[in-house]
Amino acid sequence: MEREDLVRKISIQEITPGCPYLQDESHLAPGMAEAIYFPTEEDEISALVAQFQKTGTAVTISGARTGVVGGAVPAGGGVILAMERMSRILGVKRCQKTRAWLIQVEPGLSLRSFQRQVESKNFEGIDQEGNVRDFMQDPSLYFYPPDPTEATATLGGIVAANSSGARSLAYGSTRNYVQRLRVVLATGEILDITRGEHQADRSGTIPVQTTEGSKLLIPIPTYQMPAVKSAAGYYAKPGMDLIDLFIGAEGTLGVITYLELRLVPRPDKIFSGIAFFPDPDQAIKFAQKIRILRSDPLSRIKPIAIEYFDQHSLSILRQGRQQEESRGAFFADFPLSAQSAIFFEQFYQKDEELEDIYEHWQVALEEHGVNMDDTWGGFNEQELEKMKRFRHALPEILNEIFRERKRRYPTIHKVSADLAVPEPYLEEMISLYRTRIEEQGLEYVLFGHIGECHLHLNILPRDDEEMLRAQELSFEFAAKAVSLGGCVSAEHGIGKLKHRLLELLYGPHGIEEMVRVKLLLDPKGILNRGNIFPESYLPSLR
């Protein structure tokens, strides 16, 4: 029996239209698949992928399907490779250079489970010997900083998307914590990439050898990435590390089968809060001030996250709260006068620091019209969790609103923009959003990672006609962000829904450069077909 025949499989007869593997958290219609495979070992994946390469069968890699741009939707048919059975923590290592702890893990493990096991130093199902024992006995606390909102996402998916989250303000995105990857290429061959071992040479090529001995010369794209948070297209920089090409490649270059993720020491004290501003603009001005104070050595204001809520977000939250009240309020009431709000979170080491930290925040907040009696505070995980409920409730309430609107207009959905701009242009961008959307009389909310000048704009169309106008506006905003040196997708990725935006950012030439990399590693374009660039680009360069 061949290796691939041993893999557990669901075949086409059993795949019903409502099958969860055919869709993700995006509004993209469910795809189709001939079979779903549930591999448990790398060599199974290698054998399967090599076989599909021969037949030219499309392969869609499936994690927890929490993406919002359709990355896991098998839009063009073919087969699905579901990674959920590869969810073990395999071991612990010390980085030879930095002595940092590295956790060896399979790609199908959820972020939540990974974080819990790491923070409690309680690994399920592995022997407590050697490095594992040393790690458990290390008295310091550690954590894995990337905190994308969707903690059910898998580690493989998170790396493929280079996810970030609120804490990326201080800790950066997933990329910074990936030390080693093993990747099965479309040919079935395997690349074992440790950070620091394969860099681009002066000609812009990365030479590398697969574990089977094939030599590859990977040409890195020459476009310049925007100098802001970005999850749009392949990572490309002179002298770059090969591992960075695969992080954020949305599964178009290979299947991640093994990861080594770096932990960092965790300060155990938390100072967090939500401040409510009586004016819509004060939260924006406050965030601007905090961005300056963060880098001032004299200031004790050193947040790891700053999140913004505009007046529309607050009114949606209030509305959702009222509806929810019969089921028991899910977050506390907030001042009626609030016109904007900021969530902030800071770590600190010693109790003696707290007073000082509080006073610095108090001065800054009061300068922007905040009443300290109305400002929520949290000094531990449980209280922080309660505040996060406030933050996470917004998308949930919006989904609820759209479930209702879809009854009347089945094809409408919220139109989201995930744009980041360089700091000097943030206010200009916000004022453009407001003016253009209000001119058109559309509903919207604006919220998110204001510390990194990256806000989530959701336009909320009420009918099909508004939907079209919202889409036009969102394209207009993306073009504006590009003209200001910003990014068209700071966090969500490109997937199957943002091809046009990627073209805006890098132009056809930039996309062709990405396609060159893609076809070198995946000549028939079988892996995650439709992600990042439209299929139309693939044959044209073959």
Partner 1 sequence: MKIIVCIKQVPETGNVKIDPQTHTLIRSGVPSIINPLDTYAIEEALRWKEKLGASTLVLSMGPPQAEEALREAVSMGIDQALLLTDRRFAGADTYATAYTLSLAIRKLAPYDLIFCGKQAIDGDTAQVGPALAEHLGIPHIAYVKKIEDIDLQKATVRAHRLMEDGYEILDSRLPALLTVVKEINEPRFPSLKGKMRAKKLEIPIWGADDLGGEVANFGLSGSPTQVKGIFAPPARGKGEILTGEAPLIAQTLIERLKAQKII
Binding segment for partner 1 among 225-233, 325-333, 436-444, 515-523 (CB under 8 A)?
A: 325-333
Q: Does 273 bind partner 1 (CB under 8 A)?
A: yes
Take residue 313 and report the two structure tokens written for it: 């977000």
**Integer angstrom CA distances of residue 268 from 306, 349, 391:** 19, 7, 22
358 near partner 1, judged by CB under 8 A: yes
Instruction: Tell me the DSSP string of 371-412.
Output: -GGG-EEE-SHHHHHHHHHHHHHHHHHHHHHHHHHHHHSTT-
Q: Is 329 in the site for partner 1 (CB under 8 A)?
A: yes
Residue number, 334 or 533, with CB nearest to partner 1: 334
**Least distance (Å) between residue 334 CB and partner 1:** 8
Instruction: Establish if 320 lies at the interface with partner 1 (CB under 8 A).
Output: no
Angstrom distance (rounded) from CA 537 to CA 223: 17
Closest distance of CB 307 from partner 1, Å: 16
- DSSP code string of 468-508: HHHHHHHHHHHHHHHHTT-BSBSSS--TTT-HHHHHHHHHH
Task: Choose the binding region for partner 1 from 89-97, 126-134, 366-374, 471-479 (rule: CB under 8 A).
Answer: 366-374
Handedness of CA 230, 234, 237, 242 (dihedral sign): positive
By CB atoms closer than 10 A (0-12, 13-18, 19+), residue 142 is middle
**CB-wise, 119 or 192, nearer to partner 1?**
119
- 374/427 with CB nearer partner 1: 374
Nearest distance in Å: CB 276, partner 1: 11
Q: Which SS3 state, helix, strand or coil, does residue 245 take?
A: helix
Q: Is 333 in the site for partner 1 (CB under 8 A)?
A: yes
Beta bridge partners of 459: 415, 444
Identity of the residue, 5 or 355, whose beta carbon is nearer to partner 1 in the bound complex? 355
**Shortest Cβ 341–partner 1 spacing (Å):** 12
Instruction: Give me the least distance between CB of 375 and partner 1, in Å please.
Output: 5
- Write down the least CB distance from residue 309 to partner 1, Å: 15
Q: Which residues contact 280 (CB under 8 A, 6 or more apart)?
A: 310, 311, 339, 340
329/541 with CB nearer partner 1: 329
The stretch near partner 1 (CB under 8 A) out of 78-86, 354-362, 429-437, 443-451 is 354-362
Size of residue set near partner 1 by CB under 8 A: 23
Q: Structure tokens of 497?
A: 């829904």
Q: In terms of CB distance, is 154 or 346 closer to partner 1?
A: 346
3-state helix, strand, coil in the chain (%, to 5): 40, 20, 40
Q: 2 vs 373, which CB is nearer to partner 1? A: 373
Least distance between partner 1 and beta carbon 331 (Å): 8
Nearest approach, Cβ of residue 361 and partner 1 (Å):
8
Structure tokens at 158: 């998170």
Q: How far is CA 481 from CA 175, 271, 396, in A?
A: 23, 33, 27
- Please give the sequence-ordered ranges of beta strands (E in DSSP) within 239-361, or none if there are none: 255-262, 264-265, 269-277, 305-309, 340-348
Q: Which is nearer to partner 1, 88 or 386 (CB)?
A: 386
- Kindly state the smallest distance separating residue 308's Cβ from partner 1, in Å: 18
In terms of CB distance, is 288 or 371 closer to partner 1? Answer: 371
How many degrees, rounded to 5, is the angle at CA 73 between CA 80 and CA 476?
155
Q: Single out the residue of 32, 354, 364, 432 in contact with partner 1 (rule: CB under 8 A).
A: 354
> Are the beta carbons of 63 and 109 closer than 8 angstroms?
no
Looking at residues 369 to 398 of the shown chain, list those that interact with partner 1 (rule: CB under 8 A): 372-379, 382-383, 386-387
Q: How far is the CB of 347 from partner 1 (least distance, A)?
A: 16
Q: Which of these ranges, 130-138, 175-183, 329-337, 438-446, lies near partner 1 under the rule CB under 8 A? A: 329-337
Residue among 29 and 332 whose Cβ is closer to partner 1: 332
| The residue type at 221 | P
The span from the CA of 163 to the CA of 155, in Å, is 10
C-alpha span between 169 and 81 (Å, rounded): 33
Instruction: Give per-residue burial for 198-233: e unless 16+ CB within 10 Å, then b.
Output: bebeeebebebebeeeeebebebbebebbebbbbbb
Q: Which stretch binds partner 1 (CB under 8 A): 21-29, 138-146, 280-288, 330-338?
A: 330-338
CB of 142 to partner 1, least distance (A): 21
Taking the least distance from each CB to partner 1, the nearer of 29 and 329 is 329
| Contacts to partner 1 by CB under 8 A | 273, 329, 331-334, 354-355, 358, 361-362, 372-379, 382-383, 386-387
